[in-house]
Chains A and B, each alone.
Chain A
């Protein structure tokens, strides 16, 4: 009899005999182990092919279970959440739902888990989000929830993990879940993380994101790894009724004379280098060429050092700290999240204004305590670099201050999203501090190329 077995992220099909021709194209003969082999993601196709051809088989691969019960905590879905579930079901439980931050993507996932009632794994990009999913699943389903990552390895019928841990452990966990939820699914199409999807046999897959588009264009891979985009709503369609109304304000600041002098000197040095070497940043390869050439000579290393310094001056200008101080006093009765491009600036702000800081170095217990403090109002502001860009839920936060950031549209939209969750008649505001007459102005223009800022 044909036997299916899960082996380190792949599916082994033994003793297929004359039925081998019926197997999907993903299955190939593996001389190393004398059996047919397919990526684990092909499990549903293999089972369907054998079933349709009425081939008897023993399934030793499937190690996932039916959940003992569904949701214990029921909440009436918003109309678009119910529509998203219907669309996902219509695609055999494989697809991506695109909803703006704060629109309740988590609840769509809860409904999907309730609908399929199979062991489910939720994969999220950060430990803060893992903690949030852990709490939400435990409350909604009223059962123990497993955790893999951040020093924990406890696998249960409902489990939460990070993309990093999923990449590391899916070759062992891939058979234990019938449904995988990919939170912030735009992370998935990277060369490494994609293996977390390919190493899983889960027939049901749900992707959640506000911004599926990637700068490398690999969002197309989501269709193979999860399924097609089955439902989509933009921020402007939901603002007011389902998301908080918001204002966006860009505040221009000046470099001090000393900073300006150093900025111009640094800029002249590195621009001289790129000009002498014929490097053009308007070409896609320009930046890579600069990195490569700057490493090859002492002149190049000085140019790179000068480039980093002038960028540091623009992103962390002294006037920005002064402006931030004024904003913190202006919004002393609100809940503010301050975002920076780098950890050093985040710690500088924390020391200067004595506000709690969350970076990748902050341990889970302290993160929880800080977020709880912001939620309860014992803290009026917190500062972070990038770890809170995505998904972390602080419904009471109503002020976001971007002290510095990249040119990424996604990052900027996500930072805005942190203060958009609807609560009463709250009105959110996002401040962006930009140093005038520096390259940061161009960075700011690039990141605001989104419907949310028009």
Chain B
């Protein structure tokens, strides 16, 4: 990963702008990467100090300094280095220095220390000539490591990694980010929120309405637990590690609050992307029907359910069901009641059951499949803690969880299935939940 000091950026109007590589500058970057790759390939078995000297000998202009160092950092990460194993340097040093100390201590008043005498004596005892002994003495220092393997990546790819790495390195100095994210499927959303949890980041989530009035994706404010007291770059690494997951979503636009440079200057930074925005993918993404992006079992259920004759309509869900402090779930599908079942509602109300439940307009379905028992128990906890939505969780029978775990009067239910999900079984549970 690039470090923040290697980012090539300009500050303008309170914002940090990463300098994009285009035209001649990009061609020069590819050329430079190619030169470095060639030097590394030619220096296999050389020491790190020798490799560094060779790389540093390539002239770069003042404006190319960070580009050069950044490319070198990425290439260095991809190299394999190893210390010279022939003699244990620490053991050799101890022997040489002990002997030198004894010789110095024994000097008379008119005598002077002679290092050559000590080195010759040790070299003779170990069967090493003077050059070999001098080299072996500090062979374990970083600069003495030998290059065992050089990367064979095309120079174009190195430059692409540099471009991607710049935005990520900027986020190392972020104290908070706001992301507008559009996930094509619940799986993408779950991956994003799993990563947030893994990175121990906290968030506020809001649905994001588009011009057509439909909710597409969400707006997330992301930072760490302590961030509400002090703007700290403590969470910068976690925020930087989030970027690859955002790039796996269909689209995102990120704004970050930075504390940049030694002066910790307050700056804003913006970046965007996602697979739908990737080069050459925009048209393809727009052409693909959303159903094609669903996991097979969800797509099959969707098709089967639409083939049923029922009062329910079904769509791909784009909402997140969040209960702050407890958890969140990302449903795959949402079922709409086409016409309220007035007789059933009247009957239920008469029994006094429907009072505590929200109106039965929408019921969400999250497919947990054979994912993990732990995930199921987290959803059970979410429902019990007061999740204000009706949700059906589809759970594979192999997870050995009973449908009885959730009481009938709660707004959530489990549907345990064997093999493939049945549209008719889902319908039965929707009706039960709607009552």
Contact of A380 with B104 in the complex, beta carbons under 8 Å: yes
Name A142-182 residues within 8 Å CB distance of B: 171
Q: B104 contacts which of A31, A34, A39, A328 (Cβ < 8 Å)?
A: A328
Type the 1/0 row for B122-165, where 1 means its CB is closer than 8 Å to any CB of A.
Answer: 00000000000010011001100000000000000000000000
Name A348-385 residues within 8 Å CB distance of B: 351-356, 361, 363, 365-366, 369, 373, 378-381
Asked if B203 lies at the interface with its beta carbon under 8 angstroms from chain A, I say yes
Contact of B232 with A295 in the complex, beta carbons under 8 Å: no
Contact of B101 with A379 in the complex, beta carbons under 8 Å: yes
Q: Pick from B22-30, B34-42, B222-230 the stretch touching chain A.
A: B222-230
Asked if B115 lies at the interface with its beta carbon under 8 angstroms from chain A, I say yes
Contact of A363 with B90 in the complex, beta carbons under 8 Å: yes
Q: CA separation between A30 and B229, bound complex, in Å?
A: 11
Contact of A325 with B113 in the complex, beta carbons under 8 Å: yes
Asked if B118 lies at the interface with its beta carbon under 8 angstroms from chain A, I say yes
Asked if A8 lies at the interface with its beta carbon under 8 angstroms from chain B, I say yes
Chain B proximity of A96: nearest CB distance (Å) = 22
Q: Pick from A77-85, A109-117, A192-200, A233-241 the stretch touching chain B.
A: A192-200
Q: A10 contacts which of B105, B137, B226 (Cβ < 8 Å)?
A: B226
Name B211-229 residues within 8 Å CB distance of A: 224-226, 228-229
Asked if B355 lies at the interface with its beta carbon under 8 angstroms from chain A, I say no
Name B85-140 residues within 8 Å CB distance of A: 90, 93-94, 96-101, 104-105, 107, 112-113, 115, 118-119, 134, 137-138
Contact of B324 with A34 in the complex, beta carbons under 8 Å: yes
Contact of B112 with A329 in the complex, beta carbons under 8 Å: yes
> Which residue of A is nearest B91, CB measured?
A366
Contact of A34 with B325 in the complex, beta carbons under 8 Å: yes
Contact of A329 with B107 in the complex, beta carbons under 8 Å: yes
Contacts of B233 in A (CB 8 A): 191-192
Contacts of A283 in B (CB 8 A): none
Q: CA separation between A398 and B353, bound complex, in Å?
A: 87
Contacts of A333 in B (CB 8 A): 105
Name A22-60 residues within 8 Å CB distance of B: 26, 28, 30-35, 37-39
> Which residue of A is nearest B100, CB measured?
A354
Contacts of B98 in A (CB 8 A): 373, 378-379
Asked if A450 lies at the interface with its beta carbon under 8 angstroms from chain B, I say no
Asked if A75 lies at the interface with its beta carbon under 8 angstroms from chain B, I say no
Asked if A9 lies at the interface with its beta carbon under 8 angstroms from chain B, I say yes
> Which residue of A is nearest B65, CB measured?
A295
Chain A proximity of B241: nearest CB distance (Å) = 15
Name B190-242 residues within 8 Å CB distance of A: 200, 202-204, 224-226, 228-230, 232-234
> Which residue of A is nearest B229, CB measured?
A39
Contact of B225 with A8 in the complex, beta carbons under 8 Å: yes
Q: CA separation between A409 and B246, bound complex, in Å?
A: 48
- In which size bucket is the chain A interface? 35 or more
Type the 1/0 row for A322-352, where 1 means its CB is closer than 8 Å to any CB of B.
Answer: 0001001100110000000000000100011
Contacts of B115 in A (CB 8 A): 352-354
Q: CA separation between A378 and B101, bound complex, in Å?
A: 7
Name A112-158 residues within 8 Å CB distance of B: none
Contact of A31 with B324 in the complex, beta carbons under 8 Å: yes
Chain B proximity of A355: nearest CB distance (Å) = 6
Name B249-272 residues within 8 Å CB distance of A: 262, 264
Asked if B57 lies at the interface with its beta carbon under 8 angstroms from chain A, I say no
Contact of A332 with B225 in the complex, beta carbons under 8 Å: no
Asked if A297 lies at the interface with its beta carbon under 8 angstroms from chain B, I say yes
Contact of B62 with A300 in the complex, beta carbons under 8 Å: yes
Asked if B289 lies at the interface with its beta carbon under 8 angstroms from chain A, I say no
Contacts of B352 in A (CB 8 A): none
Chain A proximity of B324: nearest CB distance (Å) = 4
Chain A proximity of B142: nearest CB distance (Å) = 6
Q: CA separation between A45 and B138, bound complex, in Å?
A: 53
Q: CA separation between A328 and B93, bound complex, in Å?
A: 19
Contacts of A347 in B (CB 8 A): 138, 141
Contacts of A33 in B (CB 8 A): 202, 324-325
Contact of A329 with B113 in the complex, beta carbons under 8 Å: yes
Asked if B61 lies at the interface with its beta carbon under 8 angstroms from chain A, I say yes
> Which residue of A is nearest B104, CB measured?
A332
Q: Which of B141, B203, B326 has the most CB of A within 10 A?
A: B141
Contacts known (A9-B226, A37-B228, A352-B115); A32 close to B104, Cβ less than 8 A: no
Contacts of B112 in A (CB 8 A): 325, 329
Contact of A37 with B225 in the complex, beta carbons under 8 Å: yes
Contacts known (A195-B232, A354-B96); A9 close to B225, Cβ less than 8 A: yes
> Which residue of A is nearest B141, CB measured?
A361
Contacts known (A329-B113, A351-B137, A363-B90); A191 close to B232, Cβ less than 8 A: yes
Q: Which of A191, A198, A301, A363 has the most CB of B within 10 A?
A: A191
Name A263-285 residues within 8 Å CB distance of B: none
Contacts known (A32-B324, A34-B324, A192-B234); A8 close to B224, Cβ less than 8 A: yes
Q: CA separation between A358 and B200, bound complex, in Å?
A: 38
14 contacts across the A-B interface (CB closer than 8 A) = A8-B200, A28-B229, A32-B324, A37-B228, A192-B233, A195-B232, A325-B113, A328-B104, A347-B138, A355-B101, A366-B94, A378-B98, A378-B101, A379-B101
> Known pairs A8-B224, A39-B230, A295-B65. 20 more at Cβ < 8 A?
A8-B200, A10-B225, A28-B229, A31-B324, A34-B324, A34-B326, A171-B200, A171-B226, A192-B233, A295-B62, A296-B62, A298-B61, A301-B62, A332-B105, A351-B138, A354-B100, A355-B100, A356-B94, A361-B141, A380-B104
Which residues of A pack against B, CB within 8 Å? 7-10, 14, 26, 28, 30-35, 37-39, 171, 191-192, 195, 198-199, 288, 295-298, 300-301, 325, 328-329, 332-333, 347, 351-356, 361, 363, 365-366, 369, 373, 378-381
- Which 4 pairs, one residue from A and one from B, show the smallest C-beta to C-beta distance? A354-B100, A34-B325, A33-B325, A34-B324
